[in-house]
Every structure is written in C-alpha cells, then in structure tokens.
Amino acid sequence: MAGDIINVGEKDFKAVVLDSPKPVLVDFWAVWCGPCRMVAPIIDELSAEYKEKMGFAKVNVDEAPKIASAYSVMSIPTMIVFKGGKPIEQVVGFRPKKDLQKLLDKALVQ
C-alpha cells in the first residue's frame, strides 16, 4: 500500500510543501518522461515506508512551470527534499531505491 503522494501545483505548493511541518520529497516529472515513469513506483514504495516521517508530493512540470523554474529544474525527473520551506537535497535522473533511501535518511537527520 502506497503512502499519500499529493499532486501539487502553483496554487497549493506553498501550503503542501513549504509550510509542511515534516520534510517533503517533491518529484518533478512529466507524463511524456520515461525515466519519470520508472522512478514513480519507487517513490510510491518510499512514501509508504516513510509516511510517518516525511511528506511526498509530485509536480507536473508541464502544468506548473513556474515552480520548476523557481527551483532551477532543468531535467526530469528531479527529486528535491524540502525542509523548513527550503530545498536541502536534490537528485536528478533515475536513481535506484537505495540511493533515494539514503537521500531521505540524510534529510531526516539534518
């Protein structure tokens, strides 16, 4: 069972991501992006495993280009961990689950 991954756009990004009391992993993606589809099931698994500790959100870069631009997202998938309203960790491109787990664990102890 996957955790709750919230699709966010320009109207709710601040409330869901920046104002979150927990760190939030944001997956910047697009429908046409093959590597994005490859990483999606991994993020689903992680959202279930980390749901008590972290929030998870997805931003479709085609629907919310201002958010992507604000965080200099040039390639997708890009995963950014936000904590206290600021980006603290970022990876670009497909990564195996263990790499993303390290990213989340590192963010949780910062």
Specify the pTM: 0.95
Name the domain count of the chain. Answer: 1
Closest of 89, 86, 81, 100 to residue 40, by C-alpha: 100
Which residues form the catalytic set?
33, 36
Residue pLDDT, tens place only, 30-71: 999 999 999 999 999 999 999 999 999 999 999 999 999 999
CATH of the domain at 101: 3.40.30.10
**18: containing domain:** 5-109
Compute the distance between CA of residue 41 and CA of residue 78 in angstroms, rounded to an integer. 15
Q: What is the mean pLDDT of residues 71-95?
A: 96
pLDDT at residue 3 tops 70: no
pLDDT at 1: 39
